[in-house]
A = this chain, B = another copy of it.
Amino acid sequence: MISPLLSNAETQGTLPVFSPIDGAEIARAPETDPALMPEVLARATQAFLAWREVPAPRRGELVRLLGEELRAAKEDLGALVTLEVGKITSEGLGEVQEMIDICDFAVGLSRQLYGLTIASERPGHRMAETWLPVGPVGIITAFNFPVAVWAWNAALALVCGNPVIWKPSEKTPLTALATQRVFERALARFGEAPEGLVQLVIGGPALGEALVASKAVPVLSATGSTRMGAWVGPKVAARWGRAILELGGNNAMIVAPSADLDMAVRAIVFGAVGTAGQRCTSLRRLIVHRSIREDLVARLVKAYASLPIGDPRKPGTLIGPLIDQAARARMLAQLERARAEGGVVHGGMALEGPGAYVTPALALMPSQTDTVREETFAPILYVLTYDDFAEAIALQNDVPQGLSSCIFTLNLREAETFLSASGSDCGIANVNIGPSGAEIGGAFGGEKETGGGRESGSDAWKAYMRRQTSTVNYSAKLPLAQGVRFDV
């Protein structure tokens, strides 16, 4: 048995699933026939009509129970993440914790979903803005956060009154199936809920296309590559839907002369090699002040040399495998390009044996070349140098992506400037912590080619609702706004 969360049937389908730990096939997941998508969509539409009438705090109770069941299943689900994606144990558990956190948060929201009452300019009139359920939410997720991203979307969508349809990465059907099972436990405790409230479809692009194309899915949340997003965004726009895009990042850290270098080194290493560099918020670029560059690089080279690489289930391992051989090949190719552009590369070697293991790479670059400006989903850290602060900001911003960014400095002026209108142009900007590992309380997402979507905290829930501006005239007169006179 692969996981206590999975039945035999769930591992004996048709879609082969490989563990990156050793590259071996571990199961065959059941696939959803694309021809069934109309039924899936119809079920969601029907579920919506019922679910939108359920009071939000009651909807929150379902999400609360989901949180409880996730707590109960945390070890098992975390282990399955490790098995299917190759994350180290602590990160697998951390991902489930993120699911739990968003559930707690969504429960609180379920008694809020605050709209506004607004002062009207007309006597005897009441103005308000309310937020109402919008309809089924499609969720397309990537392999690297195979379950947390679903939870971010589903917890909010459900509380907001919407069914969800989930299409996980073809590489991670097992964690998706296990999550669906955990949800069903919550559902069983919850009692009555419409059929088709939470659906899972497993398979290839045709399933995603059905979600992208259908008017029955007014909100589509898609996490993945910029290439995927460039296709999804206009498609959804063309059919008047709303896309929540969470696409690529090319996340940098500026290291200023006053930085606490001990902290910086730890943050850099975690940021760049954690999850084997396969987070959308992984650190990919280091912009170091010339005065400390030599020292910092030396420390990093040393630290990199000591990182335990290997089976992510083993205690002590910090770097597990890449998701597959193709990912490793892309990494090695990019390093080749970087060298051709004048880069000096430390590490970045393929390791023997089954599984796409690599040593993480430091690439000291003469400038921000084309290669640096691309996102490679692997543990490559490009190192750039700056002399004055404005140059550092300019380098930081001069890439097409706009997800996450950070600075290490103890200088108040630099820190505040970095966060200001003329600072980082990313959706996330941190000081003295790395670019990854966002808390769920903030809105998560980025600008430019990252796609502009926001998920998780703050008012990200509004993306899952429709806004209604209403004015109620309870007087017996009919004044017009802006003083217009029109006397029939």
**Chain A interface (Cβ within 8 Å of chain B)?**
49, 52-58, 60, 64, 90-91, 93-95, 97-98, 101, 104-133, 161, 230, 233-238, 240, 242-243, 260, 263, 265-267, 269-270, 274, 303, 306-307, 318, 409-413, 415-417, 419-422, 424-433, 437-444, 447-449, 451-452, 454, 457-458, 466-478, 480-486, 488
Give the distance to chain B from A479, nearest Cβ to Cβ, in Å: 9
**Chain A contact residues, majority secondary structure:** mixed
Smallest CB gap from A479: residue in B: B433
Q: How far is the CA of A425 from the CA of B132 in the complex (A)?
A: 9
Q: Are A486 and B318 in contact (CB under 8 A)?
A: yes
Q: How far is the CA of A133 from the CA of B422 in the complex (A)?
A: 9
Q: Are A412 and B474 in contact (CB under 8 A)?
A: yes
- Residues on B with C-beta less than 8 A from A428 are 468-470
- Residues on B with C-beta less than 8 A from A90 are 484-486
- Residues on B with C-beta less than 8 A from A409 are 412
Q: How far is the CA of A8 from the CA of B1 in the complex (A)?
A: 50
Smallest CB gap from A274: residue in B: B486
Most buried by B among A94, A430, A442: A442
- Residues on B with C-beta less than 8 A from A449 are 240
Q: With A118-B441, A433-B125, A481-B439 in contact, do A104 and B60 touch (Cβ < 8 Å)?
A: yes
Q: How far is the CA of A263 from the CA of B98 in the complex (A)?
A: 45
Give the distance to chain B from A192, nearest Cβ to Cβ, in Å: 13
Show 9 residue pairs from A and B whose CB-CB distance is below 8 angstroms, ordered by the A residue.
A108-B108, A120-B441, A132-B421, A240-B451, A412-B472, A419-B472, A431-B471, A447-B466, A458-B469
Q: How far is the CA of A431 from the CA of B93 in the complex (A)?
A: 40
Q: How far is the CA of A485 from the CA of B87 in the complex (A)?
A: 12
Q: Are B422 and A53 in contact (CB under 8 A)?
A: yes
Q: Are A58 and B121 in contact (CB under 8 A)?
A: yes
Give the distance to chain B from A357, nearest Cβ to Cβ, in Å: 18
- Can you add 13 more A-B contacts, CB < 8 Å, to A129-B442, A433-B478? A54-B123, A55-B120, A55-B121, A55-B122, A57-B101, A93-B483, A94-B481, A263-B478, A318-B486, A410-B413, A412-B415, A412-B431, A442-B469
Q: How far is the CA of A485 from the CA of B274 in the complex (A)?
A: 10
- 3 closest cross-chain pairs (CB), A and B: A108-B108, A416-B474, A56-B119
Q: Are A111 and B116 in contact (CB under 8 A)?
A: no
- Residues on B with C-beta less than 8 A from A126 are 416, 419-420
- Residues on B with C-beta less than 8 A from A473 are 430-433
Q: Are A468 and B429 in contact (CB under 8 A)?
A: yes
Give the distance to chain B from A267, nearest Cβ to Cβ, in Å: 6
Q: How far is the CA of A121 from the CA of B107 in the complex (A)?
A: 12
- Residues on B with C-beta less than 8 A from A422 are 49, 52-53
Q: How far is the CA of A470 from the CA of B123 in the complex (A)?
A: 20
Q: Are A478 and B266 in contact (CB under 8 A)?
A: yes
Q: Are A470 and B116 in contact (CB under 8 A)?
A: no
Smallest CB gap from A127: residue in B: B442
Q: Are A128 and B127 in contact (CB under 8 A)?
A: no
Smallest CB gap from A468: residue in B: B429
- Residues on B with C-beta less than 8 A from A430 are 470-473
Q: How far is the CA of A432 from the CA of B49 in the complex (A)?
A: 25
Q: Are A454 and B472 in contact (CB under 8 A)?
A: no
Q: With A442-B129, A466-B447, A482-B101 in contact, do A488 and B307 touch (Cβ < 8 Å)?
A: yes
Q: How far is the CA of A325 from the CA of B463 in the complex (A)?
A: 42
Q: Are A234 and B238 in contact (CB under 8 A)?
A: yes
Q: Are B429 and A470 in contact (CB under 8 A)?
A: yes
- Residues on B with C-beta less than 8 A from A454 are 467
Q: Are A270 and B469 in contact (CB under 8 A)?
A: no
Smallest CB gap from A122: residue in B: B55
Which residue of B94, B441, B443 is within 8 Å of A111 (Cβ)? B441
Q: With A451-B240, A468-B419 in contact, do A130 and B117 touch (Cβ < 8 Å)?
A: yes
Give the distance to chain B from A222, nearest Cβ to Cβ, in Å: 12
Q: Are A318 and B482 in contact (CB under 8 A)?
A: no
